[in-house]
Amino acid sequence: MQQYKRQLILPEFGPQGQAKLKQASVLVIGAGGLGCPVLLYLAAAGVGNIGIVDFDTVSVDNLHRQVLYSHQDIGKPKAEVAAQKLATLNPHIKISAILQRLDSHNALAIFKNYDLIVDGSDNFPTRYLINDAAVLSKKPLTYGAIYKYEGQVSVFNAHKADGTRSANYRDLFPTPPEKGSVPSCSEIGVIGVLPGIIGSLQANEVIKLITGIGDPLIEKLYTLDTLTLNSFTLKYNSLSSTNIKELIDYETFCDRKIPTKIETISAIDLETIIRGNENIKLIDVRQTIEHQYGNLPSINIPIGELVENLVAYNTDEKIILYCKTGSRSEKAIQIMLEHGYTNIAHLNGGLVEYIKHFNSDINIL
């Protein structure tokens, strides 16, 4: 009573709301930027049984946004560390660490033990997998996603008054984007407070669904821009074409790429070209701060600024692009091909591969 009294005295919530939380079981997939605030607030609120699915370990570049962890946790499994810290926050609930990569073989077995699912993932194959498993398991799903300074929240597959289920992720996003067209946080960056805000909103939706208070974001997508604090809510409906019958190979499903022959160049060949002073344009398509931290002798045009800067280059001269691992430079080639450039290649494996062969003094963010 003492631990929860600030929410117990809310007239709409009361002891009955607390009892519903105590009896509920919630599975949080991903103990990263979104998962950390979700887990913190669900544990603090008194959700009786919380499962944490995450196979990753804590790294130093997690710490600016994944607030459950500290420097002492680097290298340790996220799910285990999270479970231990949440247990000190609230010793009256059950917390289970599931150190597995969620896939089509284990998802349904894991989901069956929980009432409600929270998507804290950061990639499209996992999002579609979570959605489909939630639909097949008949479990409500609270969704969150972040990009740079913007975030989204919605509730999928929830019970409706007429006994049916609400729209799911595929109703809103029927097909995945072209592979590589949406950069990850590690490629494009993210402001640290954003996953905290969006994850907290996800936790709020979970509490609303469990206790029956308020108006959950069922068939509504809430979007927030943290730079301006402008927001809007998009309403959507179920698609009659959405028919999920089984779990599939989601990596293949999301591997949508425009079929184009892309020329790559090895680190060894690039070094030969550089030493031979051959006439090429070498372009780093990473963010400016990444380029300043460490680079090859090149000019820097971040991939997001590529189109507006292409007019400066002759379409006949050889252009070689590079990034950290080769994923952004491969996408950049697609952009340049669409604008008429043909004499282009990108560094296979990016700076990571180059450093393996030649220069360990180049710093990489």
Q: Which residues are catalytic?
A: 185, 323
Spatial separation of the C-alpha atoms in residues 180 and 38, rounded to whole Å: 28
Token pair of 162, please? 């007429």
Residue showing tokens 């340049």: 336
Spatial separation of the C-alpha atoms in residues 222 and 284, rounded to whole Å: 35
Separation in Å, CA 310 to CA 174, 206, 287, 299: 33, 47, 17, 13
Q: Tell me the residue ranges of DSSP E strands in the chain.
A: 25-29, 49-53, 94-98, 116-119, 141-147, 150-156, 220-225, 230-235, 264-265, 281-284, 299-300, 319-322, 344-347
Token pair of 152, please? 């989204």
Spatial separation of the C-alpha atoms in residues 133 and 152, rounded to whole Å: 21
Separation in Å, CA 10 to CA 13, 15, 19, 26, 46: 5, 9, 14, 23, 15
